[in-house]
Amino acid sequence: MGLTPGYPSSVDGPMAFPSQAWFDEFRTHINASDEYREAAADWEGDIAFLIKAEPDKGVPTDVWGWLDLWHGECRGAGLIDEARASNAAYGITAPYTRWKDVLLGDLDPIKGMMQGKLKVRGDLPTIVRQVRAATELVRLTGEVPTAFPDEAR
């Protein structure tokens, strides 16, 4: 996936998902987005993402990702351990292939939460009220040059 002109990038090629480099680049895109800043102006809380292992897809162990989102800004992003994830205001859990569907735009995250395809810890009504911000976050994932472990180069 390529970058949209005008969005900063510190990379020349795709980054493995999930990885620290991928989350760092995602943070860059979030903070460069006026649309996200406006849509998430009243959002407060960090989110931990559990990407459940699928060894046959190239993800041999569970991986925890994290975004510290505060009033339209991403104050931090990266890979974290389970202990830190348990302290996040929100948690979203799904197998790797389901997260891939979200990143590719094949699964709307709000619908996925409502259908139980993405398991949520935290106040779901608050998340649902942030549909514009969630939609913009998903759009921004598409701007991060991504290499999926189950796709041959």
The domain defined by 15-143 folds into Nonspecific Lipid-transfer Protein; Chain A (3.30.1050)
How many contiguous H segments (helices) and E segments (strands) does the chain have?
7, 7
User: Residue 37's CB: how many other CB atoms inside 10 A?
Assistant: 17
For residue 149, what is the DSSP state? T
Cβ(23)–Cβ(79) below 8 Å = yes
Residue type, 72: G
Q: pTM for the complete prediction?
A: 0.85
> Mean of the per-residue pLDDT values for the chain?
88
Residue pLDDT, tens place only, 103-151: 998 998 888 988 999 998 988 788 778 888 988 988 898 899 999 999 9
Residue pLDDT, tens place only, 60-70: 999 999 999 99
3-state secondary structure of 66: strand
pLDDT band at 12 (very low <50, low <70, confident <90, very high): low
3-state secondary structure of 109: helix
